[in-house]
Amino acid sequence: MIYKYYGPPGTGKTYKLISRAKAYVRIGTPLHKIGYFAFTKKAATEAKNRMPAEDKKLPYFQTLHSFAYHQLTLNEEDVMQPFHYEELGKLLNIKVKYHDKYNKEEVSYLNCDSPYFQMIGKAMNRDVNIREEFDRNEHNSKEIKWHLLKYIDDNLKVYKEKRKLLDFNDMIKNLINKQNLPKFKVIFIDEAQDLSPLQWQLYDKLKECTDDIYLAGDDDQAIYAWAGANVERFIEEPAKEKVLKYSKRISKTIQEESDIPISKILGVRKDKNYYPRNFEGSSENINNLDQIDLNKGKWLILTRTLSRLSSIKEELIKRNLYFKVKKEKSFKVRLYKAAMKYTYWCMGKILEEKDIKDINEFIGSEKWNHQVEWFDAFQEADEKEKFYIKNMIDNGENLDEDARISISTIHASKGGEEDNVILCLDIGNKIKKAMLKSIDKHDEEHRVWYVGITRARNNLYKLKANLKRNEYKL
């Protein structure tokens, strides 16, 4: 039997899956007969931790790629990693940069800044040849030329063959062709709206060796079509369906605001009615960050583009505000720690050898002096960074604690939430043009903004775009 849970934001679809998994345990299902496949390694680990069993007794709580990796008995040296693409890019004189260089999250849609490798990756995920993907004409014709795309694609195949490397999609393909896959009593697949056509093929294979399957996802949050995800398959997959109706995150106003981008979707969509929290919330337009008080409360600032993310970082630093991007703090941690250790020394405390070495790096040739504060003593430290750290400390920020303010792109924020969200409405020319390429591109963009809006628990602040013509209309 196949079951499908549609989980609008905050309705607890992952909680629902875990609850069902626990129910199978209670009726005596062996743990090795339960498969739980999540979109990221982090999500798989969190699911495993919620189960009433030891980690090692849950062998199939993992990503699909980790499942393939172990079933094919591969070693880490067998698998193509982001740094390999960077190396190939250098060989071909093409700049390639991955933000998660060693793909620690095991996400199948690797975040690469090269439009050529992005298209090659999309073709792999969709299980089509590169010519077919190119002929879909969804790309920016100024960024991608056919002869260069074909050249890179051919060289990538040679690179992998010479080094006997498999990429994530090769792993899935090989697993699909493998005989004697494990037999399951039940399989759970979270974030199923983000499965690619190739992964759906593996799903079809797994259907043959399991009794029950539970799919959970939300087509309105399907924002990986750019990488080949197939949301239509999730919607159309025959199953006993249930819409989770009660959100523990979304306030009434946020729900009303989120209806705007969803109402613009032209393609296939599952109609879902759900209830927000019994809290009104608020939504307002702002012209700049000076209109809100960022010195208190918790904040999530979301941008659609990396360039806008960079400009927001600069604005916050000018305001001497402490923030984080992903898990990275906004200041140079080594400098701050050295400053604190030096301050302790000035107070008469004895330092370890490592601390002394770190402080000497910033003091330079100056002599240590109990009467001189770190700001004046650290002659070799960057002046702007010194002022930034000093001003934050003077403002009462505790730099040892987690930052109250987080900055993220909308794509990277998926799964996150915060009481107060600032949504930067800048959309960018490239994105606007891409929306005109196809209905899929058009619909995906509106889903992206739906995801951005629904990260807010209570209050949404819509920050106007720098250029009116490049503003998403809410």
**Mean per-residue pLDDT over the chain, rounded:** 92
Mean predicted confidence (pLDDT) in 384-410: 95
Q: What is the CA radius of gyration of the chain?
A: 25
What residues are paired with 112 via a beta bridge?
98
If asked whether residues 69 and 95 sit together in one domain, one would say no
At 320-356, the pLDDT tens digits run: 999 999 889 999 999 999 999 999 999 999 999 999 9
| 219 in Cβ contact with 443 (< 8 Å) | no
Q: What are phi and psi of 183, to 5 degrees?
A: -90, 130
Asked whether residue 261 carries a pLDDT value surpassing 80, the answer given is: yes
State which of 199, 215, 243 marks the end of a domain.
243
At 268-306, the pLDDT tens digits run: 999 999 999 999 999 999 999 999 999 999 999 999 998
Asked whether residue 98 carries a pLDDT value surpassing 80, the answer given is: no
Asked whether residue 126 carries a pLDDT value surpassing 60, the answer given is: yes
Residue 202 CA to chain centroid, in angstroms?
23
Cα gap 45→40, rounded to integer Å: 9
> What pLDDT, on a 0 to 100 scale, did the predictor assign at position 213?
98
State which of 212, 243, 274 marks the end of a domain.
243
Please report which confidence band the pLDDT of residue 105 belongs to, taking 50, 70 and 90 as the band edges: very low
If asked whether residues 325 and 409 sit together in one domain, one would say yes
If asked whether residues 145 and 196 sit together in one domain, one would say no
Total count of residues recorded for the chain: 474
Please report which confidence band the pLDDT of residue 415 belongs to, taking 50, 70 and 90 as the band edges: confident
If asked whether residues 319 and 407 sit together in one domain, one would say yes
Question: Percentage of the chain with pLDDT > 90?
Answer: 77
Please report which confidence band the pLDDT of residue 108 belongs to, taking 50, 70 and 90 as the band edges: very low
Looking at the 3D structure of the chain, how many domains does it have?
A: 4
Question: Domain residues for 96?
Answer: 80-165
Element (H, E) at 185: strand 184-189
Cα gap 366→360, rounded to integer Å: 9
Please report which confidence band the pLDDT of residue 378 belongs to, taking 50, 70 and 90 as the band edges: very high
If asked whether residues 90 and 107 sit together in one domain, one would say yes
Q: What are phi and psi of 212, to 5 degrees?
A: -125, 145
- Tokens 């999609």 map to which residue? 169
Task: Please report, for residues 85, 114, 121, 145, 267, the alpha-carbon distance to residue 96 in angstroms, rounded to integers and kept in the order given.
Answer: 7, 5, 13, 16, 33
| 333 in Cβ contact with 381 (< 8 Å) | no
> What pLDDT, on a 0 to 100 scale, did the predictor assign at position 99?
55
| 267 in Cβ contact with 449 (< 8 Å) | no
Spatial neighbors of 443 by CB under 8 A, at least 6 apart, are: 225, 265, 266, 267, 269
At 140-192, the pLDDT tens digits run: 888 899 999 999 999 999 999 999 999 888 999 999 999 889 999 999 999 99
> What pLDDT, on a 0 to 100 scale, did the predictor assign at position 107?
46
DSSP label at residue 180: -
Pairing of strands 323-325, 328-329: antiparallel
If asked whether residues 303 and 416 sit together in one domain, one would say yes
DSSP label at residue 181: P
Asked whether residue 103 carries a pLDDT value surpassing 60, the answer given is: no
Please report which confidence band the pLDDT of residue 97 belongs to, taking 50, 70 and 90 as the band edges: low
| 304 in Cβ contact with 424 (< 8 Å) | yes
If asked whether residues 368 and 260 sit together in one domain, one would say no
State which of 165, 197, 231 marks the end of a domain.
165
If asked whether residues 234 and 298 sit together in one domain, one would say no
Mean predicted confidence (pLDDT) in 36-49: 91
If asked whether residues 367 and 231 sit together in one domain, one would say no
At 127-145, the pLDDT tens digits run: 899 999 999 888 888 889 9
> What pLDDT, on a 0 to 100 scale, did the predictor assign at position 102?
39
Asked whether residue 37 carries a pLDDT value surpassing 50, the answer given is: yes
Residue 440 belongs to a domain with what CATH number?
3.40.50.300
Asked whether residue 214 carries a pLDDT value surpassing 80, the answer given is: yes
If asked whether residues 320 and 425 sit together in one domain, one would say yes
Q: What are phi and psi of 443, to 5 degrees?
A: -70, -40
> What pLDDT, on a 0 to 100 scale, did the predictor assign at position 365?
79
Cα gap 383→367, rounded to integer Å: 19
> What pLDDT, on a 0 to 100 scale, did the predictor assign at position 111?
56
Spatial neighbors of 242 by CB under 8 A, at least 6 apart, are: 3, 4, 5, 6
Pairing of strands 405-409, 328-329: unpaired
| 7 in Cβ contact with 244 (< 8 Å) | yes
> What pLDDT, on a 0 to 100 scale, did the predictor assign at position 94?
81
Residue 330 CA to chain centroid, in angstroms?
19
Q: At what angle do helices 146-163 and 115-126 cross, to 10 degrees?
A: 70
If asked whether residues 298 and 180 sit together in one domain, one would say no
If asked whether residues 342 and 217 sit together in one domain, one would say no
